[in-house]
Amino acid sequence: MTSSKLYNAIFAAGIALILACLMIGVKLDTDSSVLAVKGATAEQWIWIAVGISVVFLSQLFSAQVDALFGAIPKPNFKAVLPQEKKMAVLKPWLISAVIVGMLIWPFMVSRGTVDLATLTLIYIMLGLGLNIVVGLAGLLDLGFVAFYAVGAYTYALLSQYFGMSFWACLPISAGLAALFGFLLGFPVLRLRGDYLAIVTLGFGEIIRILLNNWTSLTGGPNGISGIDKPTLFGLEFNRRAKEEGAMTFHEYFDMDYSSSYKVIFLYLIAVLLVICVIYLINRLMRMPIGRAWEALREDEIACRSLGLNRTAIKLSAFTLGASTAGFAGCFFAARQGFISPESFIFIESAIILAIVVLGGMGSQMGIIFAAIIMTILPELAREFSEYRMLLFGLLMVVMMRWRPEGLVPIKRPNLELKQQ
C-alpha cells in the first residue's frame, strides 16, 4: 500500500465526511414553530459511517476496484444475437411473432399489468420521438415535455369544447405540436448545443407556467378532467353510453361490462401508435432527410459546404420529434381522462432524455429496451420509491462514465451500392 494511496483514501474519506455530515448528520426540524437542529438517528450515523468506509476502501484499493469494473463485460448484444445473414431472414418472422404476441398477451394477464404496459408504450413513443431530435439529429432538447403537453391539452380542449373524437384529434394534436416545434425551433436551432439545451428547457418551463396560470383556458393547476376515452367506430367503452343513442361496446357484442375491455382497448391503440412511429422512423432513416440528419450530426461545416441548409434540416428533425410527442400527448390525455400541468414538469423531459441516452442515442431497439426498464423498475421496486429520483440521477451520471453510447449502440442501416 503506497503512502500516496493512503493519503488519497484519507482525503476522499474526509471529503465524504464533510459532505455527509452536515446534510444527513443534522436535520432541520420545526419544533413548535421554532427551527431547531436535530442530530441524526443512530441508524443514519451508521449509514454515514458505512458510506465513508466504502469511499475510503474504494480509494485505497482503487486499482483493484478499477480492474473489477473493467472485468464486467459491457453487454455485447452482437454475441447474443445470431449473425447478420441469419438475422435478415429471421427478422420478418421475429417481428411478426412479437406483434402477434403483443396482441394476444393482454388477454392473459391482469388489468394492472396491461395498464402498466400501456404506460410503457407511451414512454416508448416519447423516447422514439426525442430520439429523432437528440439521437439522429444531435440536438439536445430539454423541453420535450412541452410538445407532449401541447398534444395532451389539444385533445382535452377539443374534446371538451367541440366534442371531437380521439381519432380526429390525433392528427390535430400531432400537427399543433409540430407547429409549436417549428415556431420554437426556427429561431433557436442555430444556437450552440448547450445554449440550445437551456433555451429548450426554458421553453418547457414557459409552457408549464402558462398552462398553470391561464386558468380560463386550461383550468390552471386543476387541469382538465372528464376527457373522453377513445371509441371503436363509435362504440364507447363505458358502463353506460355517455351520449344519447350511442352504443357501448359490451352492449353491442352482448357481453357483460368489464373494465378490462377499456384497458385492453387502450393498450391496443398504444401498440398501433407505436408501430406507426417505428415504421415512420425506419423509413426516415433511409430517406435523404435521415442521411442529412446524420451528416449534420457528423460534420456541420461539411454539410454547409455541400449546399445543405442546416437550419431547415434541424428544423425538420425538431418538428417531427415534436409531432411524435403531440401524438403521445393526445393518447395520454385519452388514457388518463384527466390532465394537469403537474404531469408536464422538467423531470419528465429528463426521464425521456434518460431513456434515449440509456438506450443508445439513435438506436430504436435500445430505446424500447430502456423505456421498458425505466417504467417497470419503479413498479418492481416499490419499497425504494423514495430513492427513485436519487437513483435516477445517479444512473445518468454512471451511464455517462461507463457506457455513454448506451446499452444498445446504434447499428446503422447502411445504404448499399449494389454492383452490377
For residue 377, give the 3-state DSSP assignment.
helix
Q: Roughly what angle, to the nearest 10 degrees, separates helices 42-60 and 3-20?
A: 150
Q: Distance of CA 260 to CAs 111, 158, 254, 410, Å?
A: 6, 27, 15, 37
Q: How far is the CB of 342 from another protein (least distance, A)?
A: 14
Alpha helices in 299-387 (DSSP H): 300-305, 310-336, 346-359, 364-380
Provide the minimum distance between the beta carbon of 265 and another protein in the complex, in angstroms, as a whole number.
Answer: 27
Site string for another protein, 17-56 (x = CB under 8 A): -xx--xxx-xxx-x---xxxx-------------------
Buried b (16+ CB within 10 A) or exposed e, 219-248: beeebbeebbbbbeeebbbbeeeeeeeeeb
Q: Using CA atoms, how far apart are residues 403 and 361, in angstroms rounded to an integer?
A: 12
Give the nearest distance from C-beta 36 to another protein in angstroms.
5
Minimum distance of another protein from residue 140's CB (angstroms): 6
H helices of 36-163, in order, are 42-60, 62-71, 77-80, 84-104, 111-131, 145-162
Nearer to another protein, 251 or 294 (CB): 294
- Smallest gap, in angstroms, from Cβ of residue 387 to another protein? 7
User: Which one of residues 46, 91, 94, 195 is an interface residue with another protein (CB under 8 A)?
Assistant: 195
Q: Which is nearer to another protein, 247 or 295 (CB)?
A: 295
Which span sits near another protein by CB under 8 A: 66-74, 106-114, 201-209, 236-244? 201-209
Distance CA 60, CA 67 (A): 13
Segment lying near another protein (by CB under 8 A), choices 56-64, 146-154, 258-266, 390-398: 390-398
**C-beta separation of 208 from 149 below 8 A:** yes
Question: 36 or 87: whose CB is closer to another protein?
Answer: 36
Taking the complex as a whole, the smallest distance from the CB of residue 64 to another protein amounts, in Å, to: 18
40 near 24, Cβ under 8 Å?
yes
Q: Could you tell me how many residues of this chain bind another protein (CB under 8 A)?
A: 86
Per DSSP, the three-state class of 213 is helix
| DSSP-assigned letters across all residues of 175-203 | HHHHHHHHHHHHHHTTS-HHHHHHHHHHH
Residue with cell 430539454: 142
Residues 139 to 168: which contact another protein by CB under 8 A?
A: 140, 142
Closer residue to another protein (CB): 67 or 97: 67
C-beta closer to another protein: residue 243 or 299: 299
End-to-end CA distance of the chain: 66
Q: Least separation, in Å, of the C-beta of 74 and another protein?
A: 16
How far is residue 139's CA from residue 189's CA, in Å, rounded to a whole number? 8
412 forms part of the interface with another protein (CB under 8 A): yes
| Residues 316 to 345 in contact with another protein, rule: CB under 8 A | 316
Sites for another protein among residues 349-378 (CB under 8 A): 350, 353-354, 357, 361
Report, in Å, the least distance between residue 68 CB and another protein: 17
Q: Pattern of binders to another protein over 271-310, x per CB under 8 A?
A: ---------x--xx--xxx-xx-xx--xx-xxxxxxxxxx
Three-state DSSP at 388 gives helix
71 binds another protein (CB under 8 A): no
CB of 357 to another protein, least distance (A): 6
